[in-house]
Amino acid sequence: MFEYQNEHYENRNQMYNYNGMPENGPAEPHKPSASPNPGHTGKKARILKKAGAITLSAILFGGVAAGSFQAVNYLTGYQTPAAESAAASAGNNTASLLQTASLPSTADGKGSLDVSDIAQAVMPSIVSITNKSVQEVQNYFSLFGYGYSGETIPQETESRGSGIIIGKNDTELLIVTNYHVIADADTLSVAFNDNQVYEANTKGTDPDNDLAVIAVPLESISADTMSQIAVASIGDSDSLKVGEQVVAIGNALGYGQSVTTGIVSATNRTLNSNMNTANTSEDSADQPAYIQTDAAINPGNSGGALVNMKGEVIGINSAKLASTEVEGMGYAIPVSRVSDIIEKLMNETTRSKVTEDQKSSIGITGITVTESVNSVYGIPSGVYVAGVTEGSGAEKAGLRKGDVITKFDGKNITQIQELTELLQYYPAGETVELTIQTIGSDNAYTEKTVSVTLGHAVNSGSQSGSSGQPEANSQKDMSAFY
């Protein structure tokens, strides 16, 4: 410290000497004049020596004192205000960096990706699905009483949704979506990330959980498309926490793939059967649970992906509360809850709708057992057999009036419409297993499984144990041939 200060002082002295020089050049050397008194000169030299010694002693004493002072401060931990300010500043920067590094959102890998990174990584595994079908709609003229009362006319309809590529086998690319996205479809088409469109077939369905798996033949997919798509990475929805950021990706409003972001608003949320209101009743524990999010989920997003900040699919977008009084309440099916169901659907036989001449029939007339009928009469939920066609596969299998069909080829049946939908994919002549509840002599229902060979739908034959064929304008879910 002393040496540095001394050198600095010397530099200032040199500068002073330099500045004292005249602008036109160095001054002439000073020539001392001859001293007329040598004795006076010797006395002056002794005085100068004493003055120099005193000055040097003072400097040395000051340096030693300063060093001792700093040493004492160091040992006692005392800092000057300037040092305290510098130390505090350095301490705050370090603490800030440590706090950022230890945030839960980064310590466990959450939030490690930007939303744009997630979109880029996940979009190749998201597809757009188009469902084309022919629906029976009321005749326009019947509304005005022009002799067309009760008549319907066929009308082609088109709806759109989303899907997630979840795997492939030796011959097919497999895509999971919502059941309501592909329900009643005459034809299904899938648009991949490169906007190329391919036809798809139904692999397996589970209406109770609103799930379906469809398949696209690998041989129909070009090499260029295959290079631009990917199988989605599946995450753990059970580990989700309320407030965790999520991203929803899907074919919103049919305009093409879009991305929205939000947070997990709630987990284990249940909905009423109409999917329009949240269920807060005590009996909701037995109903499927959903992930609630404020990420925008609009029509067309159904079947798309809800992903975490690692780019992993943790939910299948399914519904949005339809009300002008609520905002930001979308729902997704947790993948961990339905992973076993999806795997089962992936391994079912791929089917497409049969041609008109191959349409099949079980050989019964059936009625949906509603919840009210179930509660009042104790009849199991399913399709009540109101009559059996003589000579049909149902009669040969031992079905009789009063039986209740609860499963068709291993798939749960709770209403006539589900049975009708399934029969469209099974040709006449195929043998399927039916699970039925049959009533015994003690008026108690017992479960059994029977094998039924499907007949042609146009050759239903006559009825036994029924009042005959229902009228043309009878309600389809009340009594009809199946």
CATH code of the domain containing 177:
2.40.10.10
- The pLDDT of 302-316, averaged and rounded, is 95
pLDDT for the residue 176: 97
Does the residue 181 lie in any domain? yes
Does the residue 201 lie in any domain? yes
Which of the pair, 89 or 264, is modelled with greater confidence? 264
Residue ending a domain, choose from 227, 243, 259? 227
The CATH number of residue 443's host domain is 2.30.42.10
pLDDT for the residue 362: 95
- The pLDDT of 53-77, averaged and rounded, is 59
pLDDT for the residue 130: 95
Which of the pair, 460 or 115, is modelled with greater confidence? 115
In this structure, of 63-67, 374-378, 441-445, the range with the lowest mean pLDDT score is 63-67
Residue 127: pLDDT band (50, 70, 90) is very high
Percent of the chain with pLDDT over 90: 51
Residue 16: pLDDT band (50, 70, 90) is very low
pLDDT for the residue 208: 87
Residue 67: pLDDT band (50, 70, 90) is low
pLDDT for the residue 19: 41
Measuring CA to CA, which residue among 151, 85, 420, 127 is closest to residue 300? 127
Query: With a threshold of 0.85, does the pTM exceed it?
Result: no
Instruction: Enumerate the β-bridge partners of residue 198.
Output: 190
Does the residue 160 lie in any domain? yes
Three-class SS of residue 122? helix
CA pair distance 311, 234, nearest whole angstrom = 9
Which of the pair, 473 or 189, is modelled with greater confidence? 189
Residue ending a domain, choose from 182, 205, 227? 227
CA pair distance 445, 374, nearest whole angstrom = 13
pLDDT digits (tens, 9 = 90+) for 209-238: 999 999 999 999 999 999 999 999 999 999
pLDDT for the residue 325: 63
Three-class SS of residue 208? helix
Residues belonging to the active site? 180, 210, 302
In this structure, of 91-100, 156-165, 240-249, the range with the lowest mean pLDDT score is 91-100
Q: Tell me: pLDDT of 323 over 60.
A: no
Residue 71, both tokens: 């040493």
> Which structural domain, as residue segments, surrounds residue 428?
360-456
pLDDT for the residue 71: 54
In this structure, of 55-69, 82-96, 143-157, the range with the lowest mean pLDDT score is 82-96
- Long-range pairs for 275-281: beta carbons < 8 A, 24 or more residues apart: 275/318, 275/319, 275/331, 276/321, 276/322, 276/323, 277/321, 278/321, 278/329
Does the residue 298 lie in any domain? no
CA pair distance 218, 221, nearest whole angstrom = 5
Average pLDDT value for the chain: 77
pLDDT digits (tens, 9 = 90+) for 147-179: 555 567 777 888 999 999 999 999 999 999 999
- The pLDDT of 384-398, averaged and rounded, is 94
Q: Tell me: pLDDT of 298 over 60.
A: yes
465: left (phi over 0), alpha (psi -120 to 50) or beta: left
Does the residue 40 lie in any domain? no
- C-alpha distances in Å from residue 399, one per residue of 105, 395, 476: 60, 5, 21
- The pLDDT of 415-423, averaged and rounded, is 91
The tally of domains found in the chain comes to: 2
Three-class SS of residue 415? coil
- C-alpha distances in Å from residue 264, one per residue of 178, 329, 330, 428: 20, 10, 10, 48
Residue ending a domain, choose from 193, 227, 261? 227
Does the residue 219 lie in any domain? yes
pLDDT for the residue 287: 79
Does the residue 146 lie in any domain? yes
Does the residue 295 lie in any domain? no
